Amino acid sequence: MSAPQPDTWVYPTKAGLYVAPADCYIDPPRAVDRAIITHGHSDHARPGHAHVLATPETLAIMRLRLGDQAGISQQASSYGVPIRVGEVTVTLVPAGHVLGSAQIVLDWQGSRVVVSGDYKRRPDSTCALFEPIPCDCFITEATFGLPVFRHPPDGHEIARLLHSLSLFPERVHLIGAYSLGKCQRLLALLRREGYEAPVYLHGALLQMTELYRTLGVELGPTAPVAGMARDALAGQIVIAPPSALNDLWSRRMPDPLIGMASGWMRVKQRAKARGVELPLVISDHADWDELVRTIDEVQAPEIWVTHGNEEALVRQASLLGRRARALSLVGYEDDEA
Ligand SMILES: [Zn+2]
Ligand SMILES: [Zn+2]
């Protein structure tokens, strides 16, 4: 008997991407009975599922963000350990996106489908490195699925931040960064480049950063902004969620120089619209080259492209000789990552 075609047992439904022989959904946008969650970003880890399967780190992140809505029952699955869900063998493998992020490897009757979730390929000391898994069908994100998106080396972007700090030592450098993943990666990158001073954090970033530490990630000294004298922040780095960059809170800072760390900072209009003076192109998503390289490495004859810029990546995968199609799943946003 030949292995079943991927689209006969994994397919999109109104409630999300469904794995029929496991009777479960992956990152469903609405509450379901049984969910497998790739990572803790809010558009992937929704509240209210009855049963949630994820890595221990993702479950901890969900409990912090969602409280008692994080799943009535939670099942932890560590990287690389196969477990049985219905008739399907499910293995979570690092996706390199944020702490705990996983690709979902699904094996059923000799057919293997891998759901990437969000991912990136470059090393990040705050999470495990992406592992390419050969499969029959690879379901990939495409947030930056256009050839114009080529992220520079992250050390280059950090050097620009440190250079600005030396040019404007009297200005507070207020950097917008998403609270899960980007904030902590920014801290780790600053340490890697030799910046040792405390980094000041907006209140909305404190708990997640503390959770990263509890889970064993080294981030160096940080302190809350709250309670600091205004003048003491001159020449310091402050990290805040992107939503706080232009509000009242930021106007209390001494002559703030606004920066933001996001793959979208490649798009000049986006930086401008947010009043960003120092756009830092640091992304937790694969850029175009990483997407294409990954499609090549997993050797899957079939490529399904989910949220983002599907069209160009579908065409590129076809040029590489793969059967490719856009899944057009709804409910996922560009998460400022
Ligand atoms: Zn994400
Ligand atoms: Zn996403």
Could you please report the per-residue DSSP string of 302-328?
A: EEEEEEESHHHHHHHHHHTT-EEEE--
Which of helix, strand or coil describes residue 251?
helix
- For residues 103 and 55, the answer to whether their CB atoms sit within 8 Å is no
What's the CA-to-centroid distance between 251 and ligand 1, angstroms?
29
- The single-letter DSSP state of residue 153 is P
Using pLDDT thresholds of 50, 70 and 90, give the confidence band for residue 154: very high
What's the CA-to-centroid distance between 282 and ligand 1, angstroms?
14
What's the CA-to-centroid distance between 142 and ligand 2, angstroms?
9
**pLDDT the model gives residue 309:** 85
Helix (H), strand (E) at residue 289: helix 288-297
Q: Which of 50, 74, 79 is nearest to 64 (CA)?
A: 74
Which of helix, strand or coil describes residue 268?
helix
**Which ligand lies nearest to the CA atom of residue 283 in the structure?**
1
What's the CA-to-centroid distance between 231 and ligand 2, angstroms?
38
d(CA 282, CA 122): 11
**pLDDT the model gives residue 254:** 83
Neighbours of ion ligand 1 (CB under 5 A): 41, 118, 335
**Which ligand lies nearest to the CA atom of residue 102 in the structure?**
1
d(CA 73, CA 76): 10
pLDDT digits 0-9 by tens, 241-296? 999 998 878 888 889 999 999 999 999 888 988 889 999 999 999 999 999 999 99
**Which ligand lies nearest to the CA atom of residue 307 in the structure?**
2
How many CA atoms are closer than 13 Å to the CA of 247, on its beta-carbon side? 8
Largest Cα–Cα separation, the chain: 73
What's the CA-to-centroid distance between 183 and ligand 1, angstroms?
13
What's the CA-to-centroid distance between 117 and ligand 2, angstroms?
7
Write out the E strands in the chain: 10-13, 16-19, 24-26, 34-36, 51-54, 73-76, 83-85, 88-94, 102-108, 111-115, 137-142, 173-176, 199-201, 222-224, 237-240, 257-261, 278-280, 302-308, 323-326
Q: Are strands 199-201 and 278-280 parallel, antiparallel or unpaired?
A: unpaired
What's the CA-to-centroid distance between 107 and ligand 2, angstroms?
23
- pLDDT mean over 166-170: 96
d(CA 296, CA 224): 44
**pLDDT the model gives residue 333:** 67
What's the CA-to-centroid distance between 41 and ligand 1, angstroms?
5
- For residues 79 and 94, the answer to whether their CB atoms sit within 8 Å is yes
pLDDT digits 0-9 by tens, 171-184? 999 999 999 999 99
d(CA 225, CA 313): 42
**Which ligand lies nearest to the CA atom of residue 120 in the structure?**
1
**pLDDT the model gives residue 161:** 98
Mean pLDDT value across the chain: 95
d(CA 46, CA 54): 13
What's the CA-to-centroid distance between 287 and ligand 2, angstroms?
14
What's the CA-to-centroid distance between 333 and ligand 2, angstroms?
6
Q: Which of 322, 327, 328, 317 is nearest to 136 (CA)?
A: 322
Q: Which of 244, 210, 19 is nearest to 99 (CA)?
A: 210
pLDDT digits 0-9 by tens, 198-256? 999 999 999 999 999 999 999 999 999 998 988 899 999 999 999 999 887 888 888 99
**Which ligand lies nearest to the CA atom of residue 331 in the structure?**
2
d(CA 189, CA 122): 12
**Which ligand lies nearest to the CA atom of residue 140 in the structure?**
2
Task: Work out the number of other CB atoms within 10 angstroms of the CB of residue 199.
Answer: 24
